[in-house]
Structure 1
């Protein structure tokens, strides 16, 4: 999928250096909405370790990681991941995403959510997907609403973000009403 000069594709080990650069470039921008990250997270080796972990989860059927890359340069400008996949009677997963500050406002997150929801339904077989935002993260809440997510709850002190336990608004998108596969 390409939108406004950005391609969304599967995450690869070769993305480590570019993601490290993007994380350094966006460190202050993401800090208010992300958990604490050690210094190693912002290095190529740290990103490679994170990518290898995501790909192992993918191979186990627990994650589907994507990266947004500038179509002209191949440089990563964000990521979106379907993770915590649970099949059986729940058939659910969670979505997390971020977009480089310089690429915000172009519809990348909304388009990515649409594509991940399509893949979650058609390829993974999920019934629903969910996402959470800090209570004050109105921009992300607007993105989720545009992508068809509905708020379904408030989770007090849900994640440790920016030095404290923070409340989160919880959103979900129901993908279909079919029963889970037999035996699942």
Structure 2
């Protein structure tokens, strides 16, 4: 995972989240604070500072170096603005060869198919380059947009977990899904 990553999609240029994204990530967090709050852990004011963003990016880079996660930033080709994030975390090797998918999209691009474009490109990279076999995801039962996105990407429901994640200060149930690379030779 140490080689530079560049993935071009019709509307974005995707790369591993890195130090040079600090200002872009801070801007993304500030622009999308209210939009993302209902589906993320509760965030204090310090989360929305340059220092917190720089610290998070240092952590992300260390995870990438260790091979335990890949955090992707999608920049709009026209404006250069960060418009989506797609993360593959908790990467496990050995007989499991799996990870967890997390994602968010800028409020201005919600419903445009951009997240499917970005997540699809990331998934292809994870299967083709990292050679993982399973990607797991979860969404709150009431989050129809995430449910629809994951279905379009080919994820299949595997279960339901009660009181699974603490989101916006409350324990939330989650629908559990996965996508398995069943291509010949995978």
TM (norm. structure 1) is: 0.91
Tell me how far apart the structure 2 counterparts of residues 76 and 50 of structure 1 sit (CA, whole Å): 16
Q: Which residue of 1 aligns with 2:99?
A: 93
TM superposition outliers: structure 1 runs of 4+ over 4 Å: 177-180
- CA distance change for structure 1 residues 119 and 2 in 2, over 3 Å: closer, same or farther? closer
2:31 aligned with 1:42, yes or no?
A: no
Q: Which residue of 2 aligns with 1:84?
A: 90
Alpha-carbon distance, 1:8 to partner: 2.1
Q: Which residue of 2 aligns with 1:20?
A: 26
Paired positions, count: 179
Range moving further from structure 2, 153-162 or 116-125: 116-125
TM (norm. structure 2) is: 0.90
Output one character per residue of 1:74-101: Cα deviation in whole Å (capped at 9) or x when no partner. Answer: 2211210111100111110001000000
Range moving further from structure 2, 131-140 or 171-180: 171-180
Alpha-carbon distance, 1:16 to partner: 1.1
Alpha-carbon distance, 1:73 to partner: 2.6
Structure 1 runs not aligned, ≥5 long: none
Alpha-carbon distance, 1:35 to partner: 0.4
Output one character per residue of 1:95-115: Cα deviation in whole Å (capped at 9) or x when no partner. Answer: 100000001122121122222
Q: Which residue of 2 aligns with 1:140?
A: 146
Alpha-carbon distance, 1:7 to partner: 2.2
Check the 8 A contact 2:9/2:118 in 1, yes or no.
no
Q: Which residue of 1 aligns with 2:62?
A: 56
